[in-house]
Structures are given as C-alpha cells and as structure tokens.
Amino acid sequence: MKRREQAVEEGMGVQRVSRRSRGEGLSVQAAGRLRPLLESFLASTDTGARMGFDPVEFPHRYAHPRDIEVSALLAASLAYGRADLFRPKVDALLRRMGASPAAFVQELKVAGARELLEGFVYRFNVGTDVAVLLLGMGQALRELGSLEALFVRGREAHGTVHGALSHFTATLREVPMAPLRRALGPERGLHHLLPSPLGAGAAKRLNLYLRWMVRGPDTVDFGIWKQVPASALVIPLDTHIGRISQHLGLTRRTDLSWRTAEEVTASLRLLDAADPVRYDFALCHYGMSGVCPAQPVVGNCAKCLLLPACAVGPRLVRRSSSSQP
C-alpha cells in the first residue's frame, strides 16, 4: 500500500478527493428547503435494521454507564475497514473481558493484557496498541471516575472539541510502554488507534464515539455524558458523509479533514442548532448500504427522498428519462 493511501486508511492525514478544497456551506435559504426533506428521510430510516452493521451494537449490550463508555471506545477505535472483519475482533475481546468491561480495565495489569491480547492482530493494530487503550481507560477510571471526566477536563483546558480529543487521546496513552513491549512486543499502529497529536484529519471514530456518548438517548445513541452538550458535537466525517454532504450542499470541500467536518457541522446547525449530528446515523448508513454509492444509481436516485435537494441525482434522472424511447 502506498504511503498516502495508508495515511488515508489510518486517519493520519487528509484524504484529497480532488484538488478543489475551498469550502462553502449551506445558506439559510437552502437550509429551509433541506430541513423538511431530511426530517422525512430520518423518519423513514429503519434504524433497527441497520444496527447490526454498526459498531454501536456492542455498547448496547451493557446497562451501566461505565461499561457503556469503555466498550464503546474499544468498539469505535477498532471500527475501521470492513464490518464483517472488525466485528468478530471486538466481540471476542468484549466476551473475554466479562460482564463488566469497566471493572476489567480498572483491574487490568500487564500480565492480564498479555493473556488477553497475545497474538492479536487487526489490520494496522497489534495487541500492544490495544493494551495501551485498555490500560489507559483503566487508569482514567481509577483517577477520575469516568471517561467523561477525562474528556471534560480536556475541554475545559482547551475550549474546543479538537483540543479536548487531543488531550483525551494523549492522556490515555500515558501508560508505561517498556513492560508492555516486553510482554507483547512493540506497538505498530498506536497512532492510528489513539492519534496523538490529533492532527488535521477528521478523527471520524473519535467523533463517532462522542456522538454515542453525548447525544440522545434514543434507539442508537446513549446520552450518558451529561456535561457535554450535543450542540458542541462535530460530525463523524467519512467517505459516505463527505460524499452525501457535497450532494446536499452542506459543503463544497472535497477533503476529509477536520475543517470539512466543521463546515458540514456548521451547515447542519442551521437545521438543528441543539443537535446538529442527529442525521449522521441515517445518512452514513444510506451510503454504507449501497443505496447512495460513489457512482449514483439512477433507479435509486429517482426514489430518494432527498432528490429535490441533491446536486447530482436530478440530472441523472432527467438524462435517463430523456433517453427513454
């Protein structure tokens, strides 16, 4: 894999879809036209049918807030690549961690990490990488009582979500590395798992984790972090959200950067200032399911509830109609 392609996969850099990257978000007038379409689209989404394709299914196994936040961060951190490949890895780890992931990480030592993670490999990550995450979570729970408290401390210190996330990951990585390396070998993709410094990338998986913890509660998100308002969240930007956001005029930027994520979020705040990322699950799965693919399908476009606001679909539908005998 080329260095640039690997950086994209690892979320370490900024993916360039084309050379144009100058941004411009949604106008107030366009927001007024888009809002009812998105509301109908959201209401039509079969959330239950998509839950099995989303890593949020894992924290839904638990009831206690600490177990939810620990299992959720593990699941979100490993949720890259194909779902059918990362889901078995997350499932196996959580099953071995027992009924309470929070209690497990609070009691975890290097020997236990070796027992759990020896031989673990998932794409860019090896057991040492995951051990840092688990030991870091345990340390945060022992010292602060929750992962929420760690994030809030960073937000108070830095004032932004980006700064808070950078503080969050840096603190989780503050575990002694020498004993881990002796027990499990060298780390390999630790920056991918816990990026520090956060950099210019969109930090999709970390923002996904925040969405789960902060907004809601509803059938998808938990709303267990009460000290962070949903209005502060940033969209978990990936290729699906990026493409659909361009179609809907939420941004004209074509890179998957933090700046683009902020611009898309700013457009969504015109639709719902208090809860701008509430459309994320539905829109992301619209792309993931193949209904709105990278190469548009005319038949799908013709039936799409968002067609009147789309910059791509109407042209394809008109072209297809005019070519019919």
Per-residue pLDDT tens digits for 147-206: 999 999 999 999 999 999 999 999 999 999 999 999 999 999 999 999 999 999 999 999
What is the per-residue pLDDT across 268-303, written as a single tens digit (0 to 9) for each? 999 999 999 999 999 999 999 999 999 999 999 999
> In terms of DSSP H, where are the helices of 78-173?
83-97, 101-107, 110-117, 127-144, 147-158, 161-172
Lowest mean pLDDT among 6-15, 52-61, 272-281, 310-319: 6-15
Give the count of beta carbons closer than 10 Å to the beta carbon of residue 99: 10
Mean pLDDT over 92-120 rounds to 98
Reported confidence tier of residue 22, pLDDT bands at 50, 70, 90: low
Residue 207 Cα distances to 47, 84, 143, 210, 295, angstroms = 20, 22, 24, 5, 27
- Torsion angle, alpha carbons of 48, 50, 52, 53, to 10: -170
pLDDT at 212: 98
Distance CA 293, CA 50 (A): 16
What is the per-residue pLDDT across 30-70, written as a single tens digit (0 to 9) for each? 999 999 999 999 999 999 999 989 999 999 999 999 999 99
Reported confidence tier of residue 321, pLDDT bands at 50, 70, 90: confident
pLDDT at 18: 38
Reported confidence tier of residue 17, pLDDT bands at 50, 70, 90: very low
Reported confidence tier of residue 23, pLDDT bands at 50, 70, 90: low
pLDDT at 313: 85
pLDDT of 316 > 90? The answer is no
Q: Two tokens at 219?
A: 């059938």
pLDDT at 324: 63
| 305-310 contacts, C-beta under 8 A, 24 or more apart | 305/37, 305/40, 305/41, 305/44, 306/37, 306/38, 306/41, 306/247, 306/248, 308/33, 308/37, 309/30, 309/33, 309/34, 309/37, 309/248, 309/249, 310/247, 310/248
Q: Two tokens at 48?
A: 């239950």
Burial class (CB in 10 A: 0-12, 13-18, 19+), 89: buried
Side-chain-facing half-sphere of 127: CA atoms under 13 Å: 18
What is the per-residue pLDDT across 124-147, written as a single tens digit (0 to 9) for each? 999 999 999 999 999 999 999 999
6 or 314, which is more confident? 314
Residue 141 Cα distances to 7, 42, 151, 227, angstroms = 31, 36, 12, 17
Helix (H) or strand (E) holding 121: strand 121-122
pLDDT at 8: 31
pLDDT of 95 > 90? The answer is yes
Query: What percent of the chain is helix, strand and coil (3-state, nearest 5)?
Result: 60, 0, 35
Q: What is the mean pLDDT of the chain?
A: 92
Reported confidence tier of residue 16, pLDDT bands at 50, 70, 90: very low
Distance CA 15, CA 133 (A): 25
**Percentage with pLDDT > 70 across the chain:** 92
Of 209, 219, 211, the closest CA to residue 277 belongs to: 211
β 125-126/121-122 pair status: antiparallel
Reported confidence tier of residue 317, pLDDT bands at 50, 70, 90: confident
Distance CA 315, CA 21 (A): 23
